[in-house]
Amino acid sequence: MNENIPFNKPFLTGREIARIEDALRGGKLSGDGPYTTACSKFIEEKTGAKKALLTHSGTAALEMAVILAGIQPGDEVILPSYTFVSTATAFVLRGAIPVFCDVRADTLNIDEAKIEELITKKTRAIVPVHYAGVSCEMNKILDLADSYGLAIIEDAAQGIMSTYHGSHLGSIGNYGCYSFHETKNIISGEGGALLLREEKDIERAEIIREKGTNRSRFLRGQVDKYTWVDVGSSYLPSEMVAAFLMAQLERADWITKRRLELWDIYYRELDVLEAQGLVKLPIIPEGCVHNGHIFYLLLPSLEVRTKFIEKMKEAGIGCHFHYQSLHSSPYGLRVGKTPSPMEVTERASDCLVRLPLWVGLESHIDRVISQTIRTIKSLV
């Protein structure tokens, strides 16, 4: 009998426990110890960001970015509806209004051609979300932000190790946010990072991250005591989390290579389904180098997708849909604005299915592919 193939299986490099034990022996268990510093330096050197600050989640990084951008109650921010709820809630917590924009049919990223019509006197930021680790059309978004004086907050939760015309995702906008949740490519169980493009934001970001105090300056010997100087919260991860993450970052290039190899196998073997008009496969635009985070199929209808997931589950293979559109969610309807049609978003919410993709899937991928082909041909 074939063993079950899970949708996701967190990958361990084999050095995580040793790194955590080293952190324990070092006696520094709270945030901003040697491993936190080492992880931040790694991300800065890899991405070219002016500063990288580890956080306890990608959500925390988004919340910090919102504060740094000066978002106030009543401000509007433009973001895709096809995204995880944290992209919106980080702004709603500050009293801002999410203005939902449709996504492109090819990448499922925010449709840059539809952003300008949503800009009003209240707009303060654009939030590109790099779906599946594939970049949004950042040059156009940068031009719009510059023309209207808007901040860009990159939700690059899925985008570590991906680039856009040579620039790492998360380092292009004013602020970039990574996630190291166990479902991501590089993991620490829970965790995240805030990337800063400009020097002027570093000191305040450190204060916000340290509960609104200037403790970071105190630890560097720049002040003789620390005190409450601004708004903030407890956004630091523990040193054990950072130690785990360091073991992952050290293998980041290798992990990315392995995931891309799996992604390429899927694309090559499932292209026959697209050629027959049964599904649509992901598209990677010119100038975008992705990280193999997600491999998805767009099926003809919600009914077909529901039956596909059920039949794959019966065959012992875990396949998942993804986001349900925020603009039509109960809370999105209450607090957001949807000024224009959301046809592509609604189709993706109904029709997209994700196939298993994790390091170690190599010995199972042929079975996933053959079952996928059989199942789709039986349904479409």
pLDDT confidence band for 223 (50 / 70 / 90): confident
Every domain of the chain with CATH number 3.90.1150.10 lies at 252-379
Q: What is the mean pLDDT of residues 318-335?
A: 97
Residue 366 CA to its chain's centroid (Å): 28
CATH class of this structure's domain 252-379: alpha beta
Alpha helices in 107-234 (DSSP H): 138-148, 202-209, 215-219
In 227-265, which positions are buried (b, 16+ CB within 10 angstroms) versus exposed (e)? eeeeebeebbbbbbbbbbbbbbbebbeebbebbbebbeb
Q: First vs last Cα of the chain: how many Å apart? A: 28
Every domain of the chain with CATH number 3.40.640.10 lies at 16-249
> pLDDT tens-digit profile of 240-275?
999 999 999 999 999 999 999 999 999 999 999 999
> pLDDT tens-digit profile of 303-315?
999 999 999 999 9
pTM: 0.97
Q: Domain 16-249 belongs to what topology?
A: Aspartate Aminotransferase; domain 2 (3.40.640)
Average pLDDT across the chain, whole number: 97
Distance CA 116, CA 341 (A): 15
